[in-house]
């Protein structure tokens, strides 16, 4: 679990079905609440990338107990995405 108001680094490594690293175009990070309602969306560029791993330093909201994050892009004219979640608490 992470603390509300703290900064976390969200990361994504896009891969093909056989595990090969890929670099999609039009990469975005979308944050959702637990009701699948979009909280925000950020378009990523090369400043959000270390090698083939995309990342965003994100400040966790104070008013959510969990967020769902989605990295998405386009590879070979098809969508590619990764989703995960972060549980948030106010104190340990």
9-28, pLDDT tens digit by residue? 999 999 999 999 999 999 99
Cα-based distances in Å from 75 to 6, 22, 60, 90: 32, 8, 29, 38
**What are the residue boundaries of the structural domains of the chain, listed by start?**
2-89
Note the pLDDT of residue 1: 79
pLDDT at 84: 98
Q: What are the residue ranges in the chain where pLDDT is below 70?
A: none
Classify residue 11 by burial, with Cβ atoms within 10 Å: 0-12, 13-18, 19+.
Answer: middle
Domain spanning 2-89: CATH superfamily: Macroglobulin (MG2) domain (2.60.40.1930)
């Amino acid at each position: 679990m992470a603390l509300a108001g703290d900064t976390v680094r969200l990361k994504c490594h896009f891969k093909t079905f056989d595990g090969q690293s890929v670099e999609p175009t039009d990469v975005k990070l979308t944050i959702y609440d637990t009701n699948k309602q979009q909280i925000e969306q950020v378009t990523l560029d090369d400043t959000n990338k270390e090698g083939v791993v995309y990342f965003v330093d994100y400040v966790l909201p104070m008013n959510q107990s969990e967020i769902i994050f989605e990295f998405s892009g386009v590879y070979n004219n098809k969508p590619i995405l990764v989703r995960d979640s972060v549980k948030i608490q106010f104190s340990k």
